[in-house]
Structure 1
Amino acid sequence: MALAALRTEFAVAESFPAAALAEAAAATPLAPECDLRHIPFVTLDPVGSRDLDQAFHIERGRSGWIVRYAIADVPAFVAPGGALDAAARDRGQTLYLPDGTVPLHPRVLSEGHASLLPGEDRSAYVWTVELDPDGAVTAANVLRAQVRSRAQLDYPAAQLDIEAGAAQEPLSLLPEIGRIRAEQERLRGGASLNMPEEQIRETAEGYRIERRFPLPVEEWNAQLSLLVGIVAGEMMLGAGIGILRTMPAPPPEALREFRDRVAALGEPWAPELSYGEYLHALEHGAVRTPAIMQAAASLFRGADYVVFNGAPPEETVQAAIASPYAHVTAPLRRLVDRWGLVVCAALSAGHAVPGWASESLPALPQLMRASQQRASQLGSAALDRVEAALLRDRIGERFEAVVIEIRGDRARVQIVEPPVTAQCESAGLVAGTRVQVRVVSADIAVGEVELAAE
């Protein structure tokens, strides 16, 4: 009931207008520019996914690598200015809730006609990126093509196949590409945080929370998406038109504070290590790691979208990636990617950007900001309510926890099991240490948990 109430509280649209549904049911893509169905693309996603935005193929070239990344051709199904376009702009992105998803587009598209499902002929934007042996980009282009995915892979099974030496191409080549692109990230000065995920799972016994670090195969797969996003951002900047995902670099005083905080935690940041190298060297299971990750996450703030048409914007870099970057790889789930794909395909072909896209670019940042704010608030509220539910019947019990942050007279602590993060008074507590906490109260309706340190 508490989770269902969130949909009303945050004005979540449960259904689409009839006109939008009719457009989605009737939409058929135009013939793509070429036929690439002979290329054995595969998809790689969480178990059970149906909204498959990306499919990849990797092969060794004459002097390096060729990466092909097929992205669902959402622009072919959404008529600019139509009812479906308007509904998508209102939503901004797919919302992921414990009791079900609220898709950006009707499921007939996002989990059907536009999804890169295995064995189905699909129109897609295919990025072809050539890399040298070290993983640096030497050439890139994008065009609309007909594709057919050969297999729908999932992360756990793919990881097991790779570890057992049973993976077939192109999956068997993913670790090598992922590692050399991660090295390129290190050379740029970027830093993927690889924060532990807190996922809410529904089981026969009720909801539970899983806290885990991404599998290596997820990190390698993410490098493919980052690669294409970087290529897209640089393509837009080179042509003087587009929309970038930006983030300012941490100010020097913030970096000094971070160095002081991690030194106080007993994990000093050695001067010879880059920020990314320092984070990657942390042990996932160490008691101090959650506190260090919490401090690291606070460094990179202010992510935004910036539109330009002519002179480049003042801010062009996504600081955590250490490169220009654009969102173009998840159009089924994120509104802005539809524009990014259309802009880059036109630029790659040497054509003018379609008028509807260039004229509506300025509206996108505010649409995405509003959407991201709602998604973030909704996700936090849902997690708070599930955490309260996990502790509702355990008032007075004691649990082992890790202190992850001290702010004035309040401390944030992370219970080891069940994985709940909540607050208590900070007196006598030290970040990065273990502590015993007692559950004082847990209110599911408002998602509030109060702990007391013992």
Structure 2
Amino acid sequence: MPRRQMRVTGAAEAPLRAALRALRTELDVPDAFPPAVLAEAEAAAKTPRLPGRDATDLPFFTIDPPGSTDLDQAMHLTRRADGGYRVHYAIADVAAFVAPGGAVDAEAHRRVLTLYFPDGRIPLHPPVISEGAASLLPGQTAPVLLWRIDLDAEGRRVATDVHRALVRSRARLDYAGVQQQLDAGTAEEPLALLREIGTLRERLEVERGGISLNVPEQEIVERDHGYELEYRAPRPADAWNAQISLLTGAAAADLMTAAGTGILRTLPTAPDGAVARLRRSAKALGIDWPHHVSYAALVRSLDPRDTRHAAFLQDCTTLLRGAGYTVFTDGKTPVPAVHAAVADEYTHCTAPLRRLVDRYAGELCVAAVAGEGPPEWVRAALPGLPQRMAEGSRRAGTVERECVDIVEAALLKDRVGEVFDAYVVDLHDRDPSIGTVHLEDPAVVARVEGGPRPLPLGERLRVRLTQADPGRAKALFAPA
């Protein structure tokens, strides 16, 4: 599911860079890989465990942001003779390069997730693996877990298989280029089917009550010798690509529950209070939300290119809080088993270069299809994975929140004392003179306090910036 994204474009100013470096030190995030880890990774990159099956005849392609080199997934889409579809989805086989109990494995368990900063990332695995030998780069033969998922004419899953194989991607595509080809009608069928299959899967998501948030990415951009914070709306192709990953995660969950051993990504239904808070936010942003319209229906009606809608979609990510991992080994379906936003049983298995748990989920699925028990190293690690992933997710969440604060403060640091138009979208539980405001421009969400009276929840308010210093003081506003 989406996280709040932010990235720096252009030549970012020195205070911002310095604050981000200081944040890395303050949070004690992993930096360089230890020499033993690098040495083991170098050796593994030269001598991976290769599968016997060869699927290099399939012309796979990848879709990622421009410049990405840690490519977890490649796909090939075709029509079936009965009017349905076949999805071939190749997922990087990290286990081909990482020996259980080795130095690279231990370091991955320490890092848990790739961490994303506005000015770069801290990878889960050494680049010689994650951006080299294991990455599905075009023209490179690589070992993968190759999923074959058959769909009927309505996009419903009718058959699933996964096994190890060698593949070779033919093209590295980016989202903008994919959207351009699809809109122009120039895409060849394997890519053109992404729109067709993605749209069908979106309809099925609506049918089962699932929700995909098209959360805009926040960008700080250099313009006219200054900096602005903007939202970049996701493209339809982004969502269609995500549907292939969601399809695979649901197929993996079914394989594991049928086998009686696995790890699911779960999310409880949001409490009533959380939805009520979003209703207040919608009102504050001028978004019409009739009481007879469900949250899911409202979200699908929003346009992430609209600044007000973009701000609301950012707020909607609060309903994803409480997501976790649930392990089961006794053949009984765990409780809870369903991911509320997916509205189905679901697991993470498509990003093993960037997320630790995906390597284990992939191994469980390969074993289930083969009719075998899980490898012992997988079985031994399963009980501790939920806690390890929770710790890694908390660290990633802290990085995310602090980065947002730093970028917003960097953007506003020369505007202390200025007055902005804003909307009050939330109040402090015990002190209604403290709350949260969405600025109309720039795309900032920040704390407001210091007024003599309760804030007007859901109403427009002029606010004055009282502090903003990247790395020292978050952006803070007071009623003007």
Give the CA deviation at 1:337: 0.4
Structure 2 match to 1:129: 149
3-state SS of paired residue (2:62): strand
Equivalent of residue 29 in structure 1, options 41, 48, 51? 48
- Taking the aligned partners of 1:161 and 1:215, their CA distance within structure 2 comes to 13
Distance 1:122 1:291, change over 3 A: closer
Equivalent of residue 248 in structure 2, options 228, 233, 250? 228
- Taking the aligned partners of 1:254 and 1:121, their CA distance within structure 2 comes to 47
Contact preservation (8 Å) 2:214, 2:313? no
Distance 1:125 1:294, change over 3 A: closer
Structure 1 match to 2:463: 437
Structure 2: which amino acid aligns with 1:411?
G
Aligned Cα root-mean-square deviation (Å) = 2.5
Q: Which runs of 5+ in 1 are unaligned?
A: none
State the Cα deviation string for residues 346-384 of structure 1 (Å, max 9, x = none).
111112211110111111111111111111101211221
Give the CA deviation at 1:37: 0.8
329-338 or 159-168: bigger deviation: 159-168
Give the CA deviation at 1:297: 3.5
- Taking the aligned partners of 2:326 and 2:169, their CA distance within structure 1 comes to 34
3-state SS of paired residue (1:81): coil
- Taking the aligned partners of 1:105 and 1:205, their CA distance within structure 2 comes to 38
2:390 matches 1:366: no
Structure 1: which amino acid aligns with 2:246?
L
- Taking the aligned partners of 1:73 and 1:421, their CA distance within structure 2 comes to 40
444-453 or 373-382: bigger deviation: 444-453
283-292 or 306-315: bigger deviation: 283-292
Please list, as runs of the form range in 1=range in 2, the aligned pairs for 1:16-415 lying within 5 A after superposition: 16-27=33-44, 28-63=47-82, 64-199=84-219, 209-251=229-271, 255=275, 267-269=288-290, 271=292, 273-284=293-304, 289=309, 292-293=312-313, 296-310=316-330, 311-407=332-428, 408-415=432-439
3-state SS of paired residue (1:298): helix
Give the CA deviation at 1:292: 4.6
Contact preservation (8 Å) 1:43, 1:149? yes
Structure 2: which amino acid aligns with 1:121?
T
- Taking the aligned partners of 1:55 and 1:319, their CA distance within structure 2 comes to 27
Structure 1: which amino acid aligns with 2:339?
Q
3-state SS of paired residue (2:349): coil
65-74 or 426-435: bigger deviation: 426-435
Structure 1: which amino acid aligns with 2:70?
D
Give the CA deviation at 1:285: 5.3
Contact preservation (8 Å) 1:98, 1:201? no
Give the CA deviation at 1:229: 0.4
- Taking the aligned partners of 1:199 and 1:156, their CA distance within structure 2 comes to 16
Aligned residues between the structures: 453
Contact preservation (8 Å) 1:33, 1:143? no
Structure 1 match to 2:3: none
State the Cα deviation string for residues 245-288 of structure 1 (Å, max 9, x = none).
101112456556756875786623453x5532221112445575
Distance 1:11 1:292, change over 3 A: closer
State the Cα deviation string for residues 167-205 of structure 1 (Å, max 9, x = none).
223221111111110111111111112222224568997
Please list, as runs of the form range in 1=range in 2, the aligned pairs for 1:419-434 lying within 5 A after superposition: 419-425=443-449, 427=453, 430=456, 433-434=459-460
3-state SS of paired residue (2:186): coil
149-158 or 285-294: bigger deviation: 285-294
Distance 1:390 1:183, change over 3 A: same
Contact preservation (8 Å) 1:291, 1:405? no
2:34 matches 1:10: no
191-200 or 250-259: bigger deviation: 250-259
Structure 2: which amino acid aligns with 1:422?
A
Structure 2: which amino acid aligns with 1:44?
I
Give the CA deviation at 1:23: 1.1
- Taking the aligned partners of 2:287 and 2:380, their CA distance within structure 1 comes to 53
Q: What is the percent sequence identity of the aligned residues?
A: 47
- Taking the aligned partners of 2:198 and 2:404, their CA distance within structure 1 comes to 31
- Taking the aligned partners of 2:324 and 2:224, their CA distance within structure 1 comes to 40
3-state SS of paired residue (1:47): coil
Contact preservation (8 Å) 2:233, 2:305? no
2:437 matches 1:418: no
Structure 1: which amino acid aligns with 2:422?
A
State the Cα deviation string for residues 418-437 of structure 1 (Å, max 9, x = none).
32221113757555554433
2:474 matches 1:448: yes
- Taking the aligned partners of 1:74 and 1:320, their CA distance within structure 2 comes to 28
Q: Which runs of 5+ in 2 are unaligned?
A: 1-17
3-state SS of paired residue (2:462): strand
- Taking the aligned partners of 2:138 and 2:210, their CA distance within structure 1 comes to 34
Runs of at least 4 residues off by over 6 Å: 201-207
Contact preservation (8 Å) 2:467, 2:473? no
Structure 1: which amino acid aligns with 2:58?
I
Give the CA deviation at 1:6: 1.0
425-434 or 176-185: bigger deviation: 425-434
Distance 1:6 1:256, change over 3 A: closer
Give the CA deviation at 1:2: 1.5
